[in-house]
Amino acid sequence: MSAVLRVLVLSGRNDHDFRATTPVIRRVLEESGRFAVEAVLEDPSRCDAAILARCDVVVSNWSAFPDLTGRRWGAAAEKAFLEFVRAGKGFLAVHAASATCQDWPEFQGLVGLTWCLGRTGHGAIHAFPVEVEDRGHPIARGLNAFFTVDELWHEAACLAEGKPEVICKAFSSKESGGSGRWEPVLVATRLGKGRGVNLVLGHDVQAMRNAGWRTLLLRAGEWAATGEVTVSIPEDWPATAALASAQAVDPEAAIAAVAGHRAGRSRRTLAAVEELVRAASTASRGGAPSRAQRELAAMIASALPSSATVDAKAFLLKQLSFIGTEKEAPALAPFLLDGDLSHAVRSALERIPGPAAEGVLRGILGRAMGKLRVGIVNSLGNRRVRAAAGDLKGLLGDPDRDLCSAAAGALGKIGGEEAAKALVEALARTSGAARAIIGDACLECAGRLLAGGDRAGAEAIYRRLDAPEESDPVRGAARRGLEALGREAPGGSKD
Amino acid sequence: MAMRGRKIHRREFVRRAAGSAAGVFAAPWIAPAGVLGRGDAPAPSERIAMGFIGVGGRGQAVMMEFLGCPEAQGVAVCDVKRTERERARDLVDRHHGGKVCAAHADFRELLERRDIDAVSIASNDHWHVLHALAAARAGKDLYVEKPLGLSVEELKALRETVNRYGRAFQFGTQQRSDRNFRFACELALNGRLGEVHTIRVSAPSGPGERTGSETWDPAPVPEGFDYDFWLGPAPVSPYTPKRVINPHWFHVSDYSLGYVAGWGIHHVDIAQWGNGTELTGPVEVEGRAVFPADDGLCDNALSWDVDLLYANGVRMSFTSDGGKNEHGIRFEGPEGWVHVKRGSIDAQPKSLLAGEIGPKEIHLPVSDHHQRNLLESVKTRKKTISPIEVAVRSDTVCHLSDIAMRLKRKLRWDPAKEEFPGDAEANRLLRRAMREPWRL
């Protein structure tokens, strides 16, 4: 990766919510690892040569709208800024940042497009696709179309000589209150050795959550600064309207809205979070959870303690079964001892990949009582936690029949010599219905030993179970096991 | 050998029943004289004694199909709803002409009865595998309604256990016992369409069956209904009548995958059969779905659209959109197509339908009655038309579809290992935790 690019951010004054959007722009730039913000100025007249000398690109979220003229920066700042760009650096205007300084020709040349009173307009905020117009431009290279939920300007005007280069466009539909024409949404310009970009999209924080918009911001900033682009396409590309709509939701607000949920109330708030969870899963490819997934899982886990109702907590835990990561596992431990939530927690812990979830289950086993302990034993078995075999062995003689049966089942699933030995020993001292349960676990163990190549170990178990004191089904299964061994034995009988 | 064991149980039981009518095994199987002389039907002591677990609407329908077979003898029913189990018990009694049937509230009691040879399971989807596992461990042969289970892990555990105990198993995909479906598959498998490249499958998603209400009030559980037992391995949730009635529960993810499995399994199973992939599965799956935002209970997909790719190059489109694919299964090749659904088969060219499958061609096994096919297997120990290995593979395709539409990204599937290779985030969805004390 090339050196970090330094950014001067201009912010303020305009009719948009810059106090909310500028921090998002800053965060997106810095979290990419490609940029560092040198300063944020709310007064462009302070944009002097000293600051600019430390920067590679000016990113503007500043506008004096509705004053389209008469709000120049002052001669010194304007001179320093234009020299900075001409010398080979760049300028990136975000959304309304072009709708100002229409009495400054060089500025208009850099933004390429601006809001023209009486002509330019926009329809309602809605989901629409953004298409690539110029595939050869570095900003657009390898970029596929994406959906976003944003305000789409139509009939923006070019007040400078020469037209800007259109890199991305979107169709402004009549139904949304638009022009019925294709409209530019990302244009590029030149000034001396430097470059200007106008990213017309990005009306509000919601629009700025879109991964497509974020990619355009980063690539445009990079190209403006250097003329080259290295930022790659993110994994959570909003290729569909549904994905874009999910990205537009504020996840913290959506999760907070679930906090008081009670069964029987509308599922609307739940469905919104479920949609976020599915979108976050989409972003994860292969073995590792994506950043979107990790962030959402962390948000859900941190909302657990403050959620007022059991129903809300159980719902959030179910979402962690889909997207929870190792990082959330330790914080779930206390809920394993809560009778109303233990099952929901196990739903998450049985699914979270990696050893952390197993450690949480093992760690709490000795403290859980009654049915909750049975559940934890079941989870250890389902995850086949070999390290738990020692603890589980001790439960085979427990007077609680459910616990004893659960331990046998878990040891059967875990398998291995240690489990097999413990189960066969327990068989001898168990009677009644529980004996068949332990017998079944022995059979499962034998199957696993065989699958692992230990024929002698499997055969010993089958022979032990082929005895009149075992139940007919267990004995019959043991004979089947022996018959199968006989068939497979080298030189053994073929029928 | 297994049959020998069975007969010993039967004699033991008849002896005990004749000597004393008391005790746990006191299900009154002492048949009135009239039952013994049903034409050339076997005497009751030689019939296959059956228990029926889950006897709501579908369970009773399947039960009556079994009872219509002279070799079957109903001896017990089980349901957590008293009204259902008593109605079913009375049906069995009336059918056999005497008080022959016991009604159990707890399936474990029914399975303890050594006189029962086979069970038919038509409980709610979230109970299928638990009931079936317990029955197999108790040495019973099984008929299990579709769909099979709530996770791929459940399916695999059942396959292992059914094979461990050597049980006869019939899956409730009864389209396999229908000539049209079999013939369509034989046309596809024998190259009558050329090399099949596409299979189009469509099944309804049941959008009209949701509760349609955004909110509901928890209600008292009716007398005679063991609601906690009904929930079983599913999470605890307050009772409301709509939760537990057919068809709403099909659309609640705690109890079912929804119609992607509930209806889809029938046609997916035929697609697997005619594709020659009934013992394996696809290698790639990608899906889209619309999930409900405004139903107070139902959260399974309102509609789905899934694309699957098989190692043999065949592409399968599986959707609830009847406009995209016609309801049923359509096999397409360069030389024609065949489309089949219940009650109709069509092809292009039409002459395909008049063709006969030659002696040297692939002939699929024939079953003309799905329930009797199990009873034959109970006696002969030969494979049923829908054995466990096939059931698991077909049901897995429904699970893969469900997972793909939730993750909304292209997934690779390894049918040999039965996992998503190198994809821990998809593999985690192959299992789900059961409420304590229930376990696989």
pLDDT at B22 over 60: no
Q: What is residue B176's DSSP assignment?
A: G
- Identify the band that residue A489 occupies on the pLDDT scale cut at 50, 70 and 90: low
Q: What is the pLDDT of residue B15?
A: 37
Nearest to B432 among A278, A347, A447 (CB): A347
C-beta atoms of B139 and A374 within 8 A? no
Q: Give the pLDDT confidence score for residue B2 in this predicted structure.
A: 40
* A480–B165 CB contact, under 8 Å: yes
Whether residue A26 is predicted with pLDDT greater than 50 in this model: the reply is yes
Check pLDDT > 90 for residue B27. Answer: no
State if pTM tops 0.95. no
Confidence of residue B40 (pLDDT cuts 50, 70, 90): low
pLDDT for residue A492: 42
CA-based end-to-end distance of chain B: 28
| pLDDT surpassing 60 at residue A491 | no
CB within 8 Å of A214: residues ≥ 6 apart: A28, A208, A234
Residue B34, pLDDT score: 38
Q: Shortest CB distance from B165 goes to which of A346, A409, A477?
A: A477
| Cβ-defined contact of B407 to A371 (cutoff 8 Å) | no
Mean pLDDT of A56-66: 95
- A287/chain B closest Cα distance in angstroms: 4
For residue A310, give Cα distances in angstroms to A260, A266, A301, B219: 9, 16, 14, 18
Nearest chain B residue to A481, by CA: B164
CB contact under 8 A, B408 and A282: yes
Beta bridge partners of A131: A169
Contact A353 B425 (CB under 8 A): yes
* Residue B338 pLDDT greater than 70, yes or no: yes
The tokens 């070019």 sit on which residue? A158
- CB-based contacts of A127-132 (< 8 A; 24+ apart in sequence): A127/A241, A127/A244, A127/A245, A127/A248, A128/A152, A128/A170, A128/A171, A128/A173, A128/A176, A129/A170, A129/A171, A129/A241, A130/A168, A130/A169, A130/A170, A130/A185, A130/A201, A130/A212, A131/A168, A131/A169, A131/A170, A131/A171, A132/A167, A132/A168
What's the average model confidence in pLDDT over B163-191? 98
- Both tokens assigned to A470: 């075992």
Mutate to test the interface with A, among B428, B430, B432 (most CBs of A within 10 A): B428
pLDDT at A321 > cutoff 80: yes
| Chain A positions in Cβ-Cβ contact with residue B139 (cut-off 8 Å) | 471-473, 476
Chain A residues near residue B425 by CB distance under 8 angstroms: 281, 284, 286-289, 293, 353
Nearest to B433 among A287, A350, A405 (CB): A350
Residue for token pair 């690109």: A57
Closest CA to A275 of A250, A246, A234, A232: A246
Up-side HSE of residue A345: CA atoms within 13 Å toward CB? 27
Residue of chain A whose alpha carbon sits nearest to that of B420: A286
Strands (E), B61-203: 72-78, 102-104, 118-121, 141-144, 169-171, 198-202
Chain B residues with CB-CB distance to A385 below 8 A: none
A:B CB pairs within 8 Å? 163
**Secondary structure of residue A95 in the 3-state scheme:** helix
Residues of chain B positioned with their CB less than 8 A from the CB of A447: 160, 164
Report the pLDDT averaged over residues A291-313: 93
Span A132-191, pLDDT tens digits: 999 999 999 999 999 999 999 999 999 988 899 999 999 999 999 999 999 999 999 999
Residue A18 contacts residue A61 (beta carbons within 8 Å): yes
What number is the average pLDDT over the span B394-419?
96
What gap in Å lies between CA B164 and CA B160, rounded to an integer? 6
ipTM of the predicted assembly exceeds 0.85: yes
pLDDT tens, residue by residue, B105-139: 999 999 999 999 999 999 999 999 999 999 999 99
Work out the percent of chain B whose per-residue pLDDT is above 90: 86
Chain A residues with CB-CB distance to B161 below 8 A: 440
Count the residues in chain B.
Answer: 440
Asked which of A98-112, A277-291, A297-311 is least confident by mean pLDDT, the reply is A277-291
Q: Is the pLDDT of residue B3 over 50?
A: no
Tell me which residue of A389, A487, A403 sits closest to A437, measured CA to CA. Answer: A403
Average per-residue pLDDT for chain B = 91
